[in-house]
Structure 1
Amino acid sequence: MNQKGRKRRWFLLLPVLLAIILVVVGLGWKNATLRKLARTGPLIVFVSILPQKYFVERVGGRRGKVAVLGGPGQNPVSFEPLPKQMAALAEADLFFRIGVPFETALIDRIQELNPGLNMVDTREGIPLRPIEGAHQHEAPERRRNAQEPESVERNEMMDPHIWLDPLLVKIQAETICRALVALDPINQAFYEENLRLFQAELDQLDRELAATFRAAQVEKIMVYHPAWGYLTDRYDLEQIPIEVEGKEPGPQQLAQVIERAKQEGIRVIFVQSQFDTRTAESVARAVDGKVLTLDPLAEDYLTNLRQIAQTIARGF
């Protein structure tokens, strides 16, 4: 066959080859799409702390199987995951970050184990605040601009306890819903209805907490660890922390805390079971007061927030 004939043959075969390529690519896309749409088992979801598990289960219902890295009694500052948890993460579909300290050390390891893992930051759209007791030269504004999501990576001293404000949880629930829908779009209506019901309960919780604090005339609370800034901001309270930059106060700082408590007429010190309570007990003895325990990490979120508000109110 001469050169002209060979060229003519390739010219005739070219449309056939292109058609085959398009069919193969199309079938691959179609099969991938069908697999995504026809997902039969639940999504495997990891979260960092127990309240997040509650949020995901409220939105995801039976469509999500949720595992928690930091379980009951774990300190989210110093927590280290077990090898079996890291192995399970390698098989997960979704990981919802929230900004607690132990996440920072884990992100690279998680991405190495599961490069295809969908990692979603639930701080998206949340106006972050500086944490009390941090460096005094931190940004003076109480809330960061919600339109600057990159700020959550720039400043590690921002307060991570965003789950302690029910109205901010509404935003987190929307983020969770979007992520679930993206992976399981055939069940979009299911997720969105669950979101609507959950957000209505959060609105009711917000009204109850406001009424509880207002009736008790709560203005200032002294706490060991400054976990409650979003809660106190929401309900026009002030938290006074004992802890300084994440550490036990020194003798001079402790004396200042005790003097402040006396000046403010504070007789109740609020602590968390995840932290050593001895310093708080020393302050309570010095002001002839008492120590009460609050748990910001309990799983049953709505019940726990009501109990927290009632415990704080009883202290007044």
Structure 2
Amino acid sequence: MTKLRIALLLALTILISSTAATAGQLQTTVSIPPLKYFVEKIGGELVKANIMVKAGSSPATYEPQPRQMAELSKSEIYFAIGVPFERAWLPRFKSANSHLEIINLGSGVAHHAMRAHVHEDGQHEQSKHEDHQTTKRIMDPHVWLAPQLVRIISQQIRDTLIEHDPANKQAYIHNYLGFAEEINELDSELLKTFSKNKTGFSFMVYHPSWGYFARAYGLTQIPIELEGKEPSPKKLAQLINLAKKNSVKAIFIQPQFSKKSAQAIADSIGAKILTADPLAEDWTANLRRTAGAFATRH
């Protein structure tokens, strides 16, 4: 048998095995990469999770590709989380696949409004003052960044998988308990990280993605933009003063957004530009890494 025939047979065997494995899996689609991490932690090899918003894309402006819509037709479950593109596209997903069950994983947790930049007097809106304002009370969808809320989200994933695949109930429960331990260990680690500074931490970000994380660990998030709007020159000056007042040493950006305003502030105060990606797929490693950056670069 020639080397070419052996290679072809090997490739065919791998393809058949892969197809068979996929055929036996519960087919799901998720909006963003962290949800894939959650679903696969609980579903294990029993579940396949396709991601709608690929790495580097923004959930605020994303439009699914034709290939993704074709893949969606094979899914039994769609796990949503409340990111902006879902408002327009979830009804279309349902129209394209009448058998698709859409589960909003954000429905079981309490949401908070996103905060604007700073007051006219330069005070941050997440200060201790009770007269802070919100912009049209836009609810923050980034609930997956707080371990306490992911506990609730993971229970909903577990129950949904069991409902669709009751024969593997015990496997889903077993996997869920393992993931719950992982969440608890991470939460305890982050509490220790931030309890070292009794005066609290302030961190400046371009997009206000980390509000739930900040709330969970007693931090103060200072955002530069809201709703994709760059700050005016006056607001930019206020933010520079606020960054100096809080001794900000780094400004955190995410790959999906421009860093123009963040760079202007960083240049003015001699701060570094660092990346904190709320959409990274490896959720546990990402939160651990980001927490360390917040704690040492505030």
State the distance in 2 between where 1:65 and 1:244 align. Answer: 34
| Other-structure match for 1:145 | none
| Shift, 1:214, TM fit | 2.2
| Shift, 1:314, TM fit | 2.2
Q: Does 1:264 align with 2:246?
A: yes
8 A Cα contact 1:221 1:269, kept in partner: yes
State the distance in 1 between where 2:235 and 2:227 align. Answer: 12
* Candidates 96, 99, 102, aligned match of 1:116: 99
8 A Cα contact 1:44 1:66, kept in partner: yes
| Other-structure match for 2:42 | 59
Larger radius of gyration: 1
8 A Cα contact 1:47 1:66, kept in partner: yes
Paired residue type of 1:47? V
State the distance in 1 between where 2:137 and 2:169 align. Answer: 35
| Shift, 1:80, TM fit | 1.1
Q: Does 1:295 align with 2:295?
A: no
* Candidates 195, 212, 228, aligned match of 1:230: 212
What do the CA deviations read for 1:247-305 (whole angstroms, capped 9, x no partner)? 11111111111121122222221111111112101001111222111111111111111
State the distance in 2 between where 1:63 and 1:95 align. Answer: 16
State the distance in 2 between where 1:299 and 1:156 align. Answer: 28
Q: Secondary structure at the match of 1:274?
A: coil
| Other-structure match for 2:28 | 45
Q: Secondary structure at the match of 2:114?
A: coil
State the distance in 1 between where 2:266 and 2:159 align. Answer: 46
8 A Cα contact 1:133 1:246, kept in partner: no
Q: Which runs of 5+ in 2 are unaligned?
A: 1-22, 120-124, 127-135
State the distance in 2 between where 1:131 and 1:87 align. Answer: 34
| Shift, 1:228, TM fit | 0.2
8 A Cα contact 2:29 2:79, kept in partner: yes
8 A Cα contact 2:201 2:295, kept in partner: no
What do the CA deviations read for 1:148-177 (whole angstroms, capped 9, x no partner)? xxxxxxx98110001100111111110001
8 A Cα contact 1:124 1:175, kept in partner: no
| Shift, 1:223, TM fit | 0.7
Q: How does 1:1-316 map to 2 (within 5 A)?
A: 41-133=24-116, 157-215=138-196, 218-316=200-298
8 A Cα contact 1:225 1:271, kept in partner: yes
Q: Secondary structure at the match of 2:50?
A: strand
| Other-structure match for 1:34 | none
| Shift, 1:82, TM fit | 0.5
State the distance in 2 between where 1:121 and 1:244 align. Answer: 24
Paired residue type of 2:40? E
Q: Secondary structure at the match of 1:55?
A: helix
8 A Cα contact 1:133 1:245, kept in partner: no
Question: In terms of mean alpha carbon deviation, does 244-253 or 93-102 score higher?
Answer: 244-253
Question: In terms of mean alpha carbon deviation, does 48-57 or 242-251 score higher?
Answer: 242-251
| Shift, 1:215, TM fit | 2.5
Count of residues in correspondence between the two structures: 261
Counting aligned pairs with the same residue, the percent is 42
What do the CA deviations read for 1:108-153 (whole angstroms, capped 9, x no partner)? 111110111111010132011111228x9xxx99xxxxxxxxxxxx
| RMSD (CA atoms) | 2.0
Q: 1:207 to 1:186 in 2, by over 3 A?
A: same
Paired residue type of 1:55? F
Q: Secondary structure at the match of 2:138?
A: coil
| Shift, 1:216, TM fit | 5.2
| Shift, 1:246, TM fit | 2.6
Paired residue type of 2:280? A
State the distance in 1 between where 2:137 and 2:81 align. Answer: 13
8 A Cα contact 1:227 1:296, kept in partner: yes
State the distance in 1 between where 2:226 and 2:141 align. Answer: 16
Question: In terms of mean alpha carbon deviation, does 51-60 or 211-220 score higher?
Answer: 211-220
State the distance in 2 between where 1:59 and 1:175 align. Answer: 11
Provide the TM-score with structure 1 as the length reference. Answer: 0.79
